[in-house]
Amino acid sequence: MILYLIIGIILGTITGLIPGIHTNNITRIAFLTPLFGNEAIIFVLSMVTTQSFVDFIPTIFIGVANEGSFEGILPGHKMFLNGKAHEAIALTVFGGIIATIISIISFPFFVKFIDFFPTHFEIIIPIILIFSIITLIMTEKTKNKKAIALFVIIIAATQGIIFKEQIFPLISGYFGISTLINATMKNQKIKKQKIEFEIKNNKIIDSITGVIGGAIVAFVPGIGNNLAAAIIKLFRQKIETKNYLTLLGSINTSNFIFSFPILTFLSKTRNGAMIFLKERIFFTEQTIWLGCTTILITSGIAGIITIIISKKISKNIDKNYFLKIQKNNLLEKIAIIFVIILVFMFNGVFGIIALIFATALGIITINTKTKRSNCLAFLIIPVLFFYLFQLI
């Protein structure tokens, strides 16, 4: 059993560190193995839990988009440029750890909740989504910016519909490459990375908010981690960068945790890892206990691994060879090429086309100083259509 836990943690760390590789890719391989029962639970849950923590490292340090954490690029990379990358990572770990504790404690309540509310979301979610779009436009300060926001929303929504299966290229374009190109143009310099930090206890509130977001993401089809975070951000207008990272860490982890009771009690799956479990385990009381203990053990270990890796990277950034790379913005250029290669590997030529269009739209939002969140229409509008068609 310990062996499967270790393998799960190692693979979760690898999938978290390499953008574009999702646990879904690993579970595709797992389907070829004879893993089943307790072995499958321990392997899969340790892998997805670890990935939900490590996921933020490439997002914050190199500004490369990851499917579960792309909303963290802008605040996280901003902290990185200000020499606070390690603190940004610690905030997401803190969010994740608090989310683990609250999610495990709230398991029985969550089970009662999913029993009680089988269909109500089908009416509530479209209303929230329409309200989010209106809020996105209305929170722009001038009329001119409101018009540009509307334009961005329409284009992003169109891209979301045309490039339906190209989430990685789209998020890389909107939030990753456009940011990296902007950094290259401005010749931004990275400050010396600080290792020490102090997290205020009030961040627990953001973790709790994140757990609610994570529970909704796990339960409601079509709503992803980032969309939930963006909606919460819209409703809490003055959310600080640090609080937002805690919130993201919390949503990312609690979403994975809650998808397990959803599978156990409703037999519904929201990701590849849970599809694998659905096929390979018998659901008993023992299954739930084992799942909870695996999540607890792994969260603690994954939190420590993430902190250690982040600290190592932060310390190395200040070394000479990195400073050489930093001249001429070589790091950003390498990251751009890296993303293009990953997109081509995972999504082919169609992915590259999606990446070009998404990057262009991302740059438009930067140059017009409108909110980058407007690009989230690529997710919001197709989800809205999904719910509206269901109502019809």
Per-residue x/- mask for other proteins, residues 194 to 223, rule CB under 8 A?
A: -xxxxxxx----------------------
Nearest approach, Cβ of 204 to other proteins (angstroms)?
10
Nearest approach, Cβ of 240 to other proteins (angstroms)?
16
Number of residues that bind other proteins (CB under 8 A): 39
Per-residue x/- mask for other proteins, residues 103 to 142, rule CB under 8 A?
A: ----------------------------------------
Task: Tell me which residue has tokens 């072995």.
Answer: 39
Nearest approach, Cβ of 104 to other proteins (angstroms)?
9
**Rounded CA gap, 248 and 213, in Å?**
9
Nearest approach, Cβ of 214 to other proteins (angstroms)?
17
Considering the complex, state which of residue 22 and residue 86 has its C-beta at the smaller distance from other proteins: 86
Nearest approach, Cβ of 238 to other proteins (angstroms)?
22
Q: Going by C-beta distance under 8 Å and a sequence separation of 6 or more, which residues neighbour residue 390?
A: 122
What is the number of alpha carbons within 13 Å of residue 314 lying toward its C-beta?
27
For other proteins, the binding residue among 303, 329, 339, 358 (CB under 8 A) is: 303
Cα-atom radius of gyration of the chain, to the nearest Å?
20
Tokens of 252: 């990312």
DSSP state of 270: S
Q: Judge contact between 214 and 258, C-beta under 8 A.
A: yes
Considering the complex, state which of residue 115 and residue 279 has its C-beta at the smaller distance from other proteins: 279
**Rounded CA gap, 387 and 392, in Å?**
9
Stretch of residues binding other proteins (CB under 8 A), selected from 244-252, 260-268, 298-306, 324-332: 298-306
Picking from 199, 240, 218, 217, the residue whose alpha carbon sits closest to that of residue 95 is 199
Stretch of residues binding other proteins (CB under 8 A), selected from 131-139, 217-225, 245-253, 295-303: 295-303
DSSP state of 250: H
In order, the DSSP letters of 68-88 are: TTGGGHHHHHHHHHTT-HHHH
For other proteins, the binding residue among 7, 18, 81, 297 (CB under 8 A) is: 297
For other proteins, the binding residue among 14, 296, 325, 366 (CB under 8 A) is: 296
Q: Which of residues 251-280 bind other proteins (CB under 8 A)?
A: 280
**Rounded CA gap, 157 and 143, in Å?**
21
Instruction: By CB under 8 A, tell whether 304 contacts other proteins.
Output: yes
What is the number of alpha carbons within 13 Å of residue 260 lying toward its C-beta?
30
**Rounded CA gap, 63 and 180, in Å?**
7
Considering the complex, state which of residue 42 and residue 114 has its C-beta at the smaller distance from other proteins: 42
Q: Which of residues 66-105 bind other proteins (CB under 8 A)?
A: 90, 93-94, 97, 100-101
Picking from 286, 228, 290, the residue whose alpha carbon sits closest to that of residue 254 is 228
Instruction: By CB under 8 A, tell whether 300 contacts other proteins.
Output: yes
Per-residue x/- mask for other proteins, residues 31 to 60, rule CB under 8 A?
A: ---x-xxx----------------------
Considering the complex, state which of residue 94 and residue 260 has its C-beta at the smaller distance from other proteins: 94
Q: Which of residues 337-376 bind other proteins (CB under 8 A)?
A: none
Stretch of residues binding other proteins (CB under 8 A), selected from 107-115, 169-177, 190-198, 372-380: 190-198
Count of other CB atoms within 10 angstroms of residue 162: 13
Considering the complex, state which of residue 284 and residue 316 has its C-beta at the smaller distance from other proteins: 284
DSSP state of 192: P
Burial pattern 330-365, b for ≥16 Cβ within 10 A else e, equals: ebbeebbebbbebbeebbeeebebbbebbbebbbbb
Tokens of 127: 């209303």
Which residues lie near other proteins (CB under 8 A)? 1, 34, 36-38, 90, 93-94, 97, 100-101, 195-201, 280-282, 284, 286, 289-290, 292-301, 303-304, 307, 311
